[in-house]
Amino acid sequence: MKNKCLPMLAVTAALLFAGTGASAEVLYTEKSLYRNIFVYEEDGLRCMKFGRYSWGRQTCMSLSDRNYLVFNYTRMMMASLYLNPSPQRVLVIGLGGGTLPSTLPKVLSSVKIDAVEIDPAVVRVARKFFEFAPGKQTDVFEEDGRVFVKRMLKRGIKYDLVMLDAFDNEYIPEHLLTREFLIEVRGLLSERGVLAANTFASTRLYNHESATYYSAFGDFYSLKKNSRVILVRLGGLPKMDELERNADIVEDRLRVFGTGKDWLLPLFGVESGWPPNTRILTDQYSPSNLLNGAF
């Protein structure tokens, strides 16, 4: 059922998405406390974006194949299972349309997921338009991701896998980019726990962001295909032979979602060390201090 109540729907799709040059059928719009949310359909996809003229899309779902992972980054995030093919407890920060917390229980039958999203409107939209239906394996928390991390640290909670996928209409919120935050996340990881972070493959912050991850974790895997996904594991990165063995364990399950080892394994590359003058992002020296908000 298409929402016809909001006055913003009187604006044509051509105007709403003039920045992308695309024509789209707008299904829903909402101005939440944090952002403008648009849901639209085009070319067999249902998508969510934040901001009327922002070029990025936070979520897209195939209308013909609900299992198919539309974005390269979501397929690359599933490569975290090559570092640990059987995580029992997972934290996902940033919900979007709920793609990651919806997919993981289909791959891992016994997984327990905590999904954290600061914006209640995003949770409502994910449920109504993107078939996000958390069951007994998934708990949803409507709060700031960093606040949640601090709360879990105090409780001594550990996760086998943490996925960072929080974005606003520009980029990752600043307080989720700093060394202090990454050290906090590190404190949540179980022995040989894995972190997967969705980032951009090319921004003015690239070196600073990379140096910040390196300062917190040391060497990390970097997968690039439009986006960049950073993968780390406590205790050191697995070698390629271990990645291949783990890939075989989950191959049949991942193939259902349009990804697998033939596509993922060639993307793995190690990033190690950064020039000593590369400024690390901290709570005191944030991206806005560095770039005045320009990416």
Contact 281, 287 (CB under 8 A): yes
Distance of CA 14 to the CA centre of its chain: 28
165 catalytic residue (yes or no): yes
Which 8-state DSSP code applies to residue 279? P
Between CA 17 and CA 32, with CA 62 as vertex, the angle to 5 degrees is 50
Provide the 10 A C-beta neighbour count for residue 118.
24
Read off the amino acid at residue 160.
D
Q: Provide the b/e sequence for 54-80 (b: ≥16 CB within 10 Å).
A: beebbbbbeeeeeebbbbbbbbbbbbb
Which of 114, 119, 160, 165 is the catalytic position?
165
What three-state secondary structure class fits 178?
coil
Contacts with 54 (C-beta within 8 Å, 6 or more apart), sequence order: 19, 169, 170
Contact 224, 267 (CB under 8 A): yes
Considering only CA atoms, which of 149, 166, 231, 230 is closest in space to residue 193? 231
What three-state secondary structure class fits 12?
coil
> Which residues are catalytically annotated?
165
